[in-house]
Amino acid sequence: MSYQLKRRRISQFAQVLFLNFVRKTKEKEKGDEVKVIGGVKSRYCIRVQWALKLKGVEYEYIIEDLKNKSPILVKSNPVYKKVPVLLHNGKAISESLVILEYIDEVWKENPLLPQDPEERASARFWAKFCDENVISEVWEAFGAQGEQKKKAIESAQESLTLLERQVEGKKFFGGEKLGYLDLVVAWIPYWLSAIEEIGEMKLLEAEKFPSIHKWTRNFMDIALINQCLPAREKVLKYFHGCLRSYVA
């Protein structure tokens, strides 16, 4: 290969690098476009809002009418057609746990997941346990009656006991800082009390679950957490409707 040809190729390569640098610089100057398609009372949507606020990311919240799903929701989440959906520069990310990890990967400030691989895997395990086991068992107790309700409450409390052990002696589930698992379990301080009230039952007794109660106080003391919470009247009304559908 001649000397002139080598120089020409090096020059072309440098030009490509320069153009990529200019493009990325312009993208940074333009800034990220972040939108969240969500509901008003959804415990899954609010965890995404909390994560973005913890990261200091500005976003637009698009309230979805789940009884009359919009074209943007159907297009963004064609498989499940559910909220939440994160739209980041036109890219759609669905499922709240997946969205939390995506947020943590893209915006490095204030990490949500632990850096240690074992601790990170543990946080993912308990997050899945909470979403797949605890919530479903609480929901079953909410809709049950008589002896079946008593058994469902006992089952839900067994799972809550396992969560209790994960936060014993800690300020938050991950230690001293609010993190991924806290956001996943965070339906407990606000939504669970509404479920207990409407369902006429008591699941989270302070004597049985002192660590979760202490964690609840620590969590609710954080100012930005309260910024996204829906009005309690709306949450109670929602669960009233859910209970009516169970009884019908």
As to burial, measured by CB atoms within 10 angstroms (0-12 exposed, 13-18 middle, 19+ buried), residue 7 is: exposed
Q: Say what the pTM is.
A: 0.86
Please give the pLDDT value at position 247. Answer: 66
Categorize the per-residue pLDDT at 6 as very low, low, confident or very high, splitting at 50, 70 and 90. low
* Average of per-residue pLDDT across 8-34: 58
* pLDDT score of 157 more than 60: yes
Residue type, 185: V
Residue 62 backbone phi and psi in degrees, to 5: -105, 115
What pLDDT, in 10s, does the model give residues 73-110?
999 999 999 999 999 999 999 999 999 999 999 999 99
Provide the CATH topology of domain 32-106.
Answer: Glutaredoxin (3.40.30)
Instruction: Give me 177's structure tokens.
Output: 């800082």
CATH architecture classification, 117-247: Up-down Bundle (1.20)
The structural domains of the chain, with segments of one domain joined by +, span 32-106, 117-247
Please give the pLDDT value at position 88. Answer: 98
Categorize the per-residue pLDDT at 28 as very low, low, confident or very high, splitting at 50, 70 and 90. very low
* pLDDT score of 27 more than 90: no
Instruction: Give me 236's structure tokens.
Output: 């109670």
What are the helix (H) ranges across the chain? Answer: 3-30, 43-55, 71-76, 96-106, 117-129, 135-143, 146-167, 180-185, 193-199, 210-220, 223-227, 232-247
Please report, for residues 122, 149, 179, 213, the alpha-carbon distance to residue 219 in angstroms, rounded to integers and kept in the order given: 20, 29, 11, 10
Alpha-carbon gap, residue 81 to 67, rounded angstroms: 11
Q: What is the DSSP string of 76-96?
A: H-TTT--S-EEEETTEEEESH
Q: Is 36 helix (H, G, I), strand (E, B) or coil?
A: strand
User: Do 32-106 and 117-247 fold alike per CATH?
Assistant: no
